[in-house]
Structure 1
Amino acid sequence: MDQTARPFRSVLYIPASKPRALEKARTLPVDAIIFDLEDAVAVEEKPAARATLAEALAQGGYGPRMKIVRINGLDTDWGADDARAAAGMGCDAILLPKVERADQVLALADLIGDTPIWAMMETPRGMLNAAQIAAHPQLQGFVMGTNDLAKDLNTRARPDRLPVMAGLGLCLLAAKAEGIPIVDGVYNAFKDEDGLRAECDQGRDMGFDGKTLIHPAQVAIANAAFAPSEAEIDLARRQIAAFEQAGAEGQGVAVVDGRIVENLHVATARATLAKADMIARLETA
C-alpha cells in the first residue's frame, strides 16, 4: 500500500515483551501497530523484549498493518541498541520518543540508514520546535504524547483538552505543512466509550489522521470516527458530479445542497473518496 496515502485511523500500542499480545495483534482490525520497547517494558525486560519482538516480526502475519517500533530514547542505555535492532526487523518505521530537536532525528538516522522515522511529540520544547522536526527528510509521521505533555504543563484533565490545545495545534500545523501523517494521543479511560468517541470526533475535526490506542476495545470507535461516513461519501460524489457538470456548461462553480462548490471542495471530495477506497482495500486485504 502507498505509504503516503494509507489510513491511520487506529494505531494500537502493543508491549514488545508480551508474546500473547504480539500474537493477538495479528488479528486486530487496526491500521497500524506501535510495538513498544519503551514505556510498556520494564527495565529488566528490555533486552529480552527486543529479541521477542524481532522473532515476532520475523514470523510475520501482520498483513497490511503498518508496523512501527517505538525504541527507547538515544540518551538511555537501550536506545542505540534498540535502533540498530529495529532497523533489521523489517518494520515500516521507527518511532523516537520525546523528540525535542531536529538533531535527535538526525542522530537516529545515522544509526538506522534509510528506515523511515516517526517522532513522539510530547514535551513543551518539542511543541515549540515542531516545524523543524517535521521538516527532516527522513521524518514521516508524528505521534502525539498527550499524557507526557499534560504532565510537563502541570494541567488538570478536561474533556475539552483546552490546556494542551496550543501544543496540538503547533504539531498539526507542522505536520500538515510537510504533508506527513499525525495521530492524536491516547484516551486513558479505555472503558469509557462515549468519552473516547467524543475525543476521536474532536481530533478528527481538528485534522488528525487517527488516534493512538491503549486497548483493543477502542479500535472500532476510532476506525469509525476517522473514516469518511456514508453521508460524507455521498456528498463527495455529488459535489464532484455537480462540478463536472458545471464545467461542461462553462461554469466555474456548482451548487450542492445550497452551498457553493469550487475547485478546493472538489479536491477535498476526491481525497474523501480515495480514503474510503483505501480503507475498503485495507479491510479486505
Structure 2
Amino acid sequence: MAIRPRRSVLYMPGSNARALDKARSLPCDVVILDLEDAVAPDAKQVAREQVAAAVRQGGFGHREVVVRLNGFDTAWGHDDLAALAPTGADVILIPKVNVGADLVAAGKAIAAASAPERTAVWAMMETPLAMLNAGAIAAAAKDRSTRLTGFVMGTNDLAKETGARIVPGRAPMNAWLMTSLAAARAHGLAILDGVWNEIGDEAGFARECAEARDMGFDGKTLIHPSQIGPCNAAFSPAEKEVAWARTIIAAFDLPENAAKGAIQIEGRMVERLHAEMARKLVAIADAIAAREAA
C-alpha cells in the first residue's frame, strides 16, 4: 500500500460554509468535515447538507477527506450516515467507539447505506471503555467488513470522562496514548494524536507535536489553520534523518550484505530492522516531497 502522509489533520465545522470552501486550499494533509462536536444542535441538518454537497463537489486535491458523524445513539447519527455514506468521502469517522462490536455494526450500516468500497472507517478513541478495550477495537480490523484503517485520539473527551487534566507532557494520559498506539500498530492501523487547545501558545503546541512524533503517531489533529505549518514541520523527517536512512538502505542493498543481519556503517552497528525502518522513513519523505512539488 502506498504511503500517505497524515501529518496535519484539520477539523472543519460542517455548519460553516466558508470553512468548508477554505479547506480546499489549506496545506494540511487531511480535512475532517465535522458534524459532531463542532456543530450546535440547531445547525446539525444544515451542516449535514453542506458537508454532503462539499464532498460531492470535490476539489480537495491531495487532501484526504474525512467526515465525522454524530454518534448512532443520537438523533442525528443515522441520518448523517444515510446522507454521507454515498458521497465518496475517503473516510467515515465514528465517534465514541467503546468496543469492537461498535465497528462491526457501523460497517454493516455503512455498506447498507451504499458507501463505495474504497470508503474506509476510522474510530475515535475518546472514552474510558475505549482505553480498556483498545486491543479488541483495533482487532476489529481483521473483519474487513468493518473497513477499519485508523484511530483518532479524542483527548478532550478523555479528559472530560476521566477527570484527567491536560497538562504539559500529558503524564495523566500517556499510558492511554501509548496503549492505543500499540493496539493500532499491532493491527496495521494509522493513528493520530488529539488536538492542542491553546491556539496562542505556539511553543506549547510545537512541544506537543514533537512529543507525539516521538511517541510514534502519524500526525496530529488540529483546530485552527495556523497550526498546520508547525505540525507539518514536526512530522516531516529532517534532512539529516533522510540522508542517514538512505545510507543505511544503500549499504544493505550491496550484494555482499544481502545475507547479513547486521553490518557496520560509519562506525555504527546497524541491524536489518533499521533498514526496514529507514525504508519507511524514506517513503514518507518522498511522498511529502512529491506532494509539495505538485
TM range (shorter): over 0.9
Deviations 1:131-153 (A, max 9, x none): 11112232111000001111222
- Given the alignment, which residue of 129, 132, 136 partners 2:136? 132
Indicate yes or no: 2:206 matched with 1:197: yes
In the alignment, the residues of structure 1 paired with residue 125 and residue 21 of structure 2 have an alpha-carbon distance, to the nearest angstrom, of 28
Taking structure 1 as reference, are residues 45 and 266 closer, same or farther at Cα in structure 2, changes over 3 Å only?
same
Alpha-carbon shift at residue 20 of structure 1 (Å): 0.5
In the alignment, the residues of structure 2 paired with residue 109 and residue 240 of structure 1 have an alpha-carbon distance, to the nearest angstrom, of 40
- Which residue matches 2:94? 96
Partner AA of 1:110 in structure 2: K
Indicate yes or no: 2:220 matched with 1:222: no
In the alignment, the residues of structure 2 paired with residue 171 and residue 230 of structure 1 have an alpha-carbon distance, to the nearest angstrom, of 29
- Which residue matches 2:106? 108
Residues 15 and 39, structure 2, Cα contact 8 Å, conserved in 1? yes
Partner AA of 1:39 in structure 2: D
- Which residue matches 2:26? 28
Alpha-carbon shift at residue 240 of structure 1 (Å): 1.7
Alpha-carbon shift at residue 280 of structure 1 (Å): 1.6
Alpha-carbon shift at residue 283 of structure 1 (Å): 2.3
- Which residue matches 1:270? 279
Alpha-carbon shift at residue 259 of structure 1 (Å): 2.0
Indicate yes or no: 2:160 matched with 1:156: no
Q: TM-score, normalised by structure 1?
A: 0.95
Taking structure 1 as reference, are residues 220 and 132 closer, same or farther at Cα in structure 2, changes over 3 Å only?
same
Residues 243 and 261, structure 1, Cα contact 8 Å, conserved in 2? no
- Given the alignment, which residue of 26, 35, 38 partners 1:37? 35
Deviations 1:151-206 (A, max 9, x none): 22212232010001111111101100011100000001112111111101111111
In the alignment, the residues of structure 1 paired with residue 258 and residue 194 of structure 2 have an alpha-carbon distance, to the nearest angstrom, of 47
In the alignment, the residues of structure 1 paired with residue 10 and residue 256 of structure 2 have an alpha-carbon distance, to the nearest angstrom, of 44
In the alignment, the residues of structure 2 paired with residue 153 and residue 86 of structure 1 have an alpha-carbon distance, to the nearest angstrom, of 32
RMSD: 1.6
In the alignment, the residues of structure 2 paired with residue 54 and residue 252 of structure 1 have an alpha-carbon distance, to the nearest angstrom, of 52
Partner AA of 1:44 in structure 2: D
Residues 124 and 167, structure 1, Cα contact 8 Å, conserved in 2? no
Partner AA of 2:62 in structure 1: P
Indicate yes or no: 2:291 matched with 1:282: yes
Alpha-carbon shift at residue 98 of structure 1 (Å): 1.0
Residues 116 and 139, structure 1, Cα contact 8 Å, conserved in 2? yes
Residues 12 and 215, structure 1, Cα contact 8 Å, conserved in 2? yes
Alignment of 1:144-183 (within 5 A): 144-183=153-192
Deviations 1:228-260 (A, max 9, x none): 110110110111223334835975432234321
- Indicate the SS of the match to 2:24: helix
Taking structure 1 as reference, are residues 231 and 79 closer, same or farther at Cα in structure 2, changes over 3 Å only?
same
- Which residue matches 1:184? 193
Partner AA of 2:158 in structure 1: L
Alignment of 1:52-67 (within 5 A): 52-67=50-65
Q: TM-score, normalised by structure 2?
A: 0.92
Partner AA of 1:244 in structure 2: D
Partner AA of 2:139 in structure 1: A
In the alignment, the residues of structure 2 paired with residue 156 and residue 210 of structure 1 have an alpha-carbon distance, to the nearest angstrom, of 22
Alpha-carbon shift at residue 46 of structure 1 (Å): 0.5
Residues 125 and 154, structure 2, Cα contact 8 Å, conserved in 1? yes
Partner AA of 2:288 in structure 1: I
Partner AA of 2:263 in structure 1: A
- Aligned-residue sequence identity (percent) comes to 52
- Please list every run of 5 or more consecutive structure 2 residues that lacks an aligned counterpart in the other structure: 112-116
Alpha-carbon shift at residue 210 of structure 1 (Å): 0.3
Taking structure 1 as reference, are residues 41 and 249 closer, same or farther at Cα in structure 2, changes over 3 Å only?
closer
In the alignment, the residues of structure 1 paired with residue 191 and residue 135 of structure 2 have an alpha-carbon distance, to the nearest angstrom, of 13
In the alignment, the residues of structure 1 paired with residue 34 and residue 221 of structure 2 have an alpha-carbon distance, to the nearest angstrom, of 12
